A and B are shown apart, each in its own frame.
Chain A
Amino acid sequence: MSRKLSTGPEHVIRFESVGLRYGQRPEVLEDITFALKPGSFHFLTGASGAGKSSLLRLMYLGQRPTRGLVTLFGQDVATVPRDKLPALRRRVGVVFQDFHLLDHMSAMDNVALPLRVSGVSEAEIKKHVPELLSWVGLADHLNAKPPVLSGGQKQRVAIARAVIARPDLLLADEPTGNVDDSLATRLIYLFEELNKLGTTVVIATHNEGLLRNFPHSRLHLERGRLIDPPPLKGA
């Protein structure tokens, strides 16, 4: 798939000929090249095992590429000093596929975590976190810990944590996988609201219904390579 590239900092994220392998195994991502503009909205699609989660890991700096160039907010992540990486990561909100919630903390504390690591005051945290949790339908579960929450509730806590700090880039790995269609639609609306405020959004999903209802740009992976997205079934 050929994509026009620019070298300027006008891209939120840019991949150029990026490859990724784990250990000595074959590459799970090959020659990935793309660039996302600020305020754009994308779905990341592809079959299971196509490399969606690996691509997201590279995007949220959870992994270094084996080869190629990755720039985030105009900075080559390979040359950014280690002590500057947290500041870059704080500009990225991530909804992990398995949520990555901290079981010993309440929903409120889980969502507050990105604010706390950024040094936001407790007064601000107490004001904004319950508001957001109410918005995702968890007003009655502020003090509940993840082990007592259902899959859908955990997912909403994870989403709230990813968006609470108004990230410049939001990455979500199957964020609607455990919720019903109605809530899935509401969550995409939330992502769209953030997108309207300038956040670049990338959502990895299998949900063709969402793809049909929200006709945003698609990045499609097949066997570790970005290809032109195939037409949607029934479209």
Chain B
Amino acid sequence: MALISRRSDLPTQRDASSRFVPLLVALMVFLAVLALSGLMILHGLTARWERDIRGTLTVQIPIVASGPEAEARSHAKVEAILNVLAETPGILQAQPLPRDRIVALLEPWLGSADLIGELPLPRLIDVTSDPFVTIDVKTLAAKLEAVQPGTTVEDHRVWLGRLLRLSRSVEALSMLVLALVGITTSATVIFATRTGMAIHHQVIEVLHLIGAQDDYIARQFARRTFYMGLKGGIAGLGLGIGALAGLGYMARSLEGGILPEVWLGLGHWAALALLPLAAAWIATLTARLAVHRALARMT
């Protein structure tokens, strides 16, 4: 590959850009690592939530008083609701949640199970529906209301809709950050390349006058920029991975159940590992184009 094998005619090693371009690319790749990993984690989470929720309904039967008599009444009502659900087309399974399971669900939020056990709790029925059949939730809710006043059907759509909107906004923001990182990297490289061209104007003029093609000169700037970009990119990736590891450690040290267990897969890590190369490639292409544009203005 000509980019790697050719020697340089330009004494660019001691230019000021040798220091600040890798530094800035490192910072940009660091930000890109955070933005891209955030984007990928959020995307995974959203997909999981969507998958988990699609095809499920929750039926809530109003709070009943505690005691053996009330328990028996409540049991009869649940049975009646289950019968209606069993007759509804598209419903594959309806499973009442045991009281201890409801208590367990509430425990992280309300504390001691003994205390919760004494509270009047609603009965919940976990319904699994056929994802390919559309159930008219309003009609179903009306039917169940007729069997047991106060019964509600929750299909989670409102909650999921809001969550998806939030998630999509954050994803768009992450992509904007990635785009800004790319633009900033390009702007820095253009500035550094122009400075380099001004510093080495005489060398460029000599090369130009002895018949060097514009691309011969542009390749020399591009090659140098590639190495600077790669160097900075690898440093930025290292910093980014360190930051992710730190965040992961902090997330794991929190009380379980509050944050969902989501982490990056192999494909995600591969995408992050490509960021330094992408930064180096953007820098190289930008330098090459900047040199071509500047040389086009020469005689």
User: Contact residues of A with B, CB < 8 Å?
Assistant: 60-64, 82-83, 86-90, 92, 94, 100, 102, 104-105, 113-114, 116-118, 161
Tell me which residues across on chain B come within 8 A of A100, comparing CB atoms.
202, 205-206, 209
Report B170-183 CB contacts with A as 1/0, cut-off 8 Å: 00000000000000
Task: Specify which chain B residues have a CB less than 8 angstroms from the CB of A90 in the assembled complex.
Answer: 210-211
Give B215's nearest chain A residue, CB to CB. A83
B9 and A102 within 8 A (CB): yes
Which one of A64, A82, A88, A117 contacts B207 once the chains associate, using CB atoms below 8 Å? A117
Chain B 206-225, CB-CB to A under 8 Å as 1, else 0, gives 11111111101000000000
Q: Note all chain B residues with C-beta closer than 8 A to A116.
A: 9
Which of B205, B210, B212, B296 has the most CB atoms of chain A within a 10 A radius of its CB?
A: B210
* Residue in contact with A89 in the complex, picked from B202, B211, B216, CB distance below 8 Å: B211
Contact with A along B75-113 (1 / 0, CB 8 A): 000000000000000000000000000000000000000
Can you name 11 extra interface pairs (CB under 8 A) apart from A102-B9, A117-B212, A117-B213? A82-B296, A86-B213, A88-B211, A89-B211, A100-B209, A104-B11, A113-B207, A114-B211, A117-B210, A117-B216, A118-B211
Which A residues lie within 8 Å of B203 (CB)? 102
Contact B299 A113 (CB under 8 A): no
Q: Are B209 and A60 closer than 8 Å at their CB atoms?
A: yes
Taken together as a complex, chains A and B put the C-alpha atoms of A92 and B210 apart, in Å, by 8
Contacts of A63 in B (CB 8 A): 299
Which residues does B use to contact A, with CB under 8 Å?
Answer: 9, 11, 202-203, 205-214, 216, 296, 299
User: Which residue of A is nearest B299, CB measured?
Assistant: A64
List the B residue with the shortest CB-CB distance to A161: B210
CA distance A61 to B210 in the complex (A): 10
Question: Can you offer 28 A-B residue contacts whose CB atoms are under 8 A?
Answer: A60-B209, A61-B209, A62-B299, A63-B299, A82-B214, A82-B296, A83-B214, A86-B211, A89-B208, A89-B209, A89-B211, A90-B211, A94-B209, A100-B202, A100-B205, A100-B206, A102-B11, A102-B203, A104-B11, A105-B9, A113-B206, A113-B207, A114-B210, A114-B211, A117-B210, A117-B216, A118-B211, A161-B210
Does the CB pair A61–B206 fall under 8 Å? Answer: no
Tell me the minimal C-beta distance from A119 to chain B in angstroms. Answer: 9
Residue of A nearest to B212 (CB): A117
User: Does more than half of chain A's interface fall in helix, strand or loop, or is it mixed?
Assistant: mixed
| Nearest neighbor of B203 in chain A, beta-carbon distance | A102
> What's the Cα separation between A83 and B212 when bound, in Å?
10
Q: Which residue of A lies closest to B11 (CB)?
A: A104
Query: Which of these, B202, B205, B210, B296, contacts A113 with CB under 8 Å?
Result: B210
- Shortest C-beta distance, B10 to chain A (Å), equals 9
In the assembled complex, how far is the CB of residue B99 from the closest CB belonging to chain A, in whole angstroms? 82
Choose one: B209, B211, B213, B214; the contact of A62 (CB below 8 Å). B209
How long is the Cα–Cα vector from A118 to B213 in the complex, in angstroms? 9
Residues of A within 8 A of B212 (CB): 86, 117
Cβ contacts under 8 Å, B214 to chain A: 82-83, 86
**What are the residues of chain B within 8 A of A88 when measuring CB–CB?**
211
Q: Which 3 A-B residue pairings sit nearest by Cβ, starting from the closest?
A: A90-B211, A89-B211, A104-B11
A82–B209 Cα gap in the complex (Å)? 13
**Most B-side CB within 10 Å, residue of A82, A88, A94, A102:** A102
**Assuming the A-B contacts A63-B299, A64-B299, are A117 and B202 also in contact, with contact meaning beta carbons closer than 8 angstroms in the complex?**
no
**A113-B9 CB under 8 A given contacts A62-B299, A82-B296, A102-B203:** yes
User: In the complex, what distance in Å separates the CA atom of A43 from the CA atom of B202?
Assistant: 27
Residue numbers in A under 8 Å from B207 (CB-CB): 113, 117
Alpha-carbon separation in the docked complex, A87 to B214 (Å): 12
Chain B's closest residue to A109 (CB) is B9
B9 near A89 with CB under 8 A, answer: no
Bound-complex Cα distance A31 to B69 (A) = 120
What distance in Å separates the Cβ of A26 from its nearest Cβ neighbour in chain B? 21
Residues of A within 8 A of B210 (CB): 89-90, 94, 113-114, 117, 161
A100 CA to B209 CA in the complex, in Å?
Answer: 10
A133 to B216, CA, bound (A): 25
Bound Cα distance from A100 to B210, whole angstroms: 11
Please, how many angstroms separate the alpha-carbon atoms of A94 and B207 in the complex?
12
Residues of B within 8 A of A62 (CB): 209, 299
Contacts of A113 in B (CB 8 A): 9, 206-207, 210
**Residue with the greatest number of chain A CB neighbours at <10 A, chosen from B11, B209, B296:** B209
Q: What's the nearest-Cβ distance from chain B to residue A188, in Å? A: 22
